Amino acid sequence: MTEGNELPNDAIDVDTAREKLLADVAALPSLPGVYRYFDAQDAVLYVGKARDLKKRVSSYFQKNHGGTRIGHMITKIVRLQTTVVRSEAEALLLENNLIKTLSPRYNILFRDDKSYPYLKITGGPRTTNTASGTGTGPAALSFPRVAYYRGAVDQRHRYFGPFPSAWAVKESIQMLQKVFRLRTCEDTVFANRTRPCLLYQIKRCSGPCVNLIAPDDYARDVNNAERFLLGEQQELTDTLQAQMMAHAEALQFEQAAEIRNQLGALSRVLHQQSVEDNTGVTTKDADILAVKVEGGRACVNLAMVRGGRHLGDRPYFPRHVEEAVDAAAIDDAPPAEGTDAASASPEVHVLEAFIAQHYLDGGVPPLLVLSHSVDKALIDALTLQSGIKVTAQHQPREPRRAWLDMCIKGAQLKLAQLLAEEGSQQARTRALVEALGLGIEDMETFRVECFDISHTAGESTQASCVVFENHKMQSAQYRRYNIEGITGGDDYAAMRQVLVRRYAKMVEAASRGEARLPELVLVDGGKGQVSMAREVFEELGIELSRIVGVEKGEGRKVGLEELVFADGRAKVYLGKDSAALMLVAQIRDEAHRFAITGMRARRASVRTGGSKLEDIPGVGPKKRAKLLQRFGGVRGVGHASVEDLCTVDGISKELAEDIYRALH
């Protein structure tokens, strides 16, 4: 007990920190900028921007927020950092960068996922070129290929998009095949064909592989396809009609009939594929954004229009919605210029967060059609950052209204589906905790790690570890472990190795408060695997009650699995309709899938020479293929002597010595 008016040291520290914080707030300038709140562990709680730093930040500390979420955050604040900028646009840019970098607990966070697929038309000359390539067909480069692509773009090819989904790309490719009959085959297949494939027979390809179309004619089709993808549909139609009439006047009726058929196919795919603004001017590129907030979750549905064509939609589900909305809505200032009275709604906060995090790094189209009005300063910042005039439309008329209504409906349906799935998953988590008698109160932090071993006859053994937490699989925390130094096919030794590697360091980190052990460790196997896990946990001093084995039932049938415990409890059969067993099976199957894919990739790498041969200077694809063919695989190359390597065509003595050293 303390006597008189004395206080504990920690209370004095808290009061001192609060006084300094309030003094810092009082000294803030009335200028635009960005502020950050930190807790006692120096973790970032919240990042915000303001037109007036002093007014905005002071509003957090001028009234009692009680036991609300925002009140809970304010009690954690011990330190403040601010950055003064020249304009609100600069504040928006800095706020967005800091949110992405720091991932604060009380900000709306979207996954930084802009890995959209593209439609690619491979590069190559558009002029006549009848030079032969490998095989009997013309050079593949003379006849560009249309293909699905995902990844970094380069200057060698033409890319169109982005598309919201792989399905949208593949549908567009099928459309181009119907109208322009461009090839989709790989170059190696193209170069070695001696007769046209089935796509030529069903009129989806013009047969360039066997010279059934001249390079100039094919180049014209490629150019027309590119114009179509760029939104020049009407100009393209006029050009084709003029060409058809010219062929007819020249009595070239077969060529005229071909263009007539092409025009017919084009008119069919163009039906209802344009978006026009209220003045009748065609808008070729636009994004439609609709937001729905319900049950503490939110969905932003993004629909894309590119080249005047609606390409489909894609949902985004942010984190920290309720906390961030409370923090953002604390300011009682009037709505910003360009917004309406509804600007304080959760939907507007979510939509503004999405636009900032998704577009301020680039890739914004000239038109945004929005379900809710957003701050005009945000749109001005997009214009400034992208270098193009960006327009936001909140209450469009037909036909944009139809696109927006579709997008809003999609957001409602996808959010309802997410809430239903999360409710089911939470019920499964609760059922598993109760079935195992774990006595855990906070289901949000309940963590399960599951291990599986995969190999093919002892070759390329890999172990997988998958993580289940917060009612869902956490793919970013998955890990694979290459198993070395054991007898091929010894799953027990493999399990021992992966558990030691996984938990030895984790136990040390947990003792320092830097890590947290999972509440449950699942191993795919019965008594043998559980016994091996028990030995490892006993050596490391970890509670044995955490280990549970998933033993396959009679006939290895799904739904008959039994749970095996390391602490001596009797086996448990949960029942094939048990929600707990469904969750166990889900986690176990994900571990198996992750292990299988890793093992196959590693096996393929070993069998084809993998990176060992690829990393050797002077060994290109041709020499690597000759080595693998001569010695029957990378193992054979590894067993070959320098003299044996010299017998391969193109391998000098110096290069043979380099290969031998690299493989030994």
Q: How confident is the model at residue 604 (pLDDT cuts 50, 70, 90)?
A: low
Distance CA 47, CA 56 (A): 12
Pair type for strands 520-523 and 146-149: unpaired
> What are the start and end residues of each CATH 3.30.420.340 domain in the chain?
443-605
Weakest-pLDDT range from 193-202, 419-428, 554-563: 554-563
Go through the chain and tell me how many residues it has: 664
Nearest Cα to Cα of residue 580 among 448, 444, 431, 479 = 431
Task: Assign domain 610-663 to a CATH class.
Answer: mainly alpha
The reported pLDDT for the residue numbered 350 is 92
Distance CA 423, CA 468 (A): 16
Provide the CATH number for the domain formed by 9-102 in this structure. Answer: 3.40.1440.10
Backbone angles phi, psi at 443, to 5 degrees: -70, -20
Contacts of the segment 482-491: beta carbons below 8 A, 24+ positions apart: 482/602, 483/453, 483/455, 486/461, 487/458, 488/455, 488/457, 488/458, 488/459, 488/461, 489/455, 489/457, 489/458, 491/453, 491/525, 491/529
Percent of the chain scoring above 90 in pLDDT: 17
The reported pLDDT for the residue numbered 110 is 84
Q: What is the pLDDT of residues 206-227, one digit of tens each?
A: 899 988 888 888 988 898 888 8
Q: How many CB atoms lie within 10 A of CB 237?
A: 15
Q: How confident is the model at residue 283 (pLDDT cuts 50, 70, 90)?
A: low
Each residue of 374-390: b (16+ CB within 10 Å) or e? bbebbbbbbeebbeeeb
On the question of pLDDT at 610 being above 70, the answer is no
Nearest Cα to Cα of residue 567 among 588, 540, 543 = 543
Q: What is the pLDDT of residues 94-122, one digit of tens each?
A: 888 898 888 888 888 887 666 778 888 88
Q: What is the pLDDT of residues 445-470, one digit of tens each?
A: 899 999 998 877 666 788 899 999 98
The topology (CATH level 3) of 443-605 is Nucleotidyltransferase; domain 5 (3.30.420)
> What are the start and end residues of each CATH 1.10.150.20 domain in the chain?
610-663
On the question of pLDDT at 11 being above 60, the answer is no
Q: Which two tokens stand for residue 322?
A: 């309720």
Identify which has the larger pLDDT, 599 or 661: 661
As separate numbers, helices (DSSP H) first and strands (DSSP E) second, the chain gives: 22, 18
Weakest-pLDDT range from 192-206, 316-330, 412-426, 454-468: 316-330
Backbone angles phi, psi at 251, to 5 degrees: 65, 25
Distance CA 330, CA 249 (A): 74
The reported pLDDT for the residue numbered 17 is 73
The CA-atom distances, in angstroms, between 529 and each of 127, 486, 526 are: 65, 16, 6
Distance CA 322, CA 352 (A): 15
Is residue 472 within 8 A of residue 464, CB to CB? The reply is no
Q: What is the pLDDT of residues 589-600, one digit of tens each?
A: 999 888 888 766
Three-state DSSP string of 4-43? CCCCCHHHHHHHHHHHHHHHHHHCCCCCCEEEEEECCCCC
Q: How confident is the model at residue 128 (pLDDT cuts 50, 70, 90)?
A: very low
On the question of pLDDT at 333 being above 50, the answer is no
Distance CA 353, CA 324 (A): 10
Amino acid code (one letter) for 39: D
Contacts of residue 187, defined as CB under 8 A and 6 or more positions apart, other chains included, come to 140, 145
- The mean pLDDT of 226-254, rounded to a whole number, is 75
The reported pLDDT for the residue numbered 33 is 92
The most confident of 30-34, 132-136, 433-437, 453-457, by mean pLDDT: 30-34
Contacts of residue 570, defined as CB under 8 A and 6 or more positions apart, other chains included, come to none
Residue 282 belongs to what H/E stretch?
none
**Crossing angle of the two packed helices 253-269 and 166-180, in degrees rounded to 10:** 160
> What are the start and end residues of each CATH 3.40.1440.10 domain in the chain?
9-102
The reported pLDDT for the residue numbered 554 is 67
Q: What is the mean pLDDT of the chain?
A: 80
Is residue 28 within 8 A of residue 54, CB to CB? The reply is yes
Distance CA 375, CA 148 (A): 37
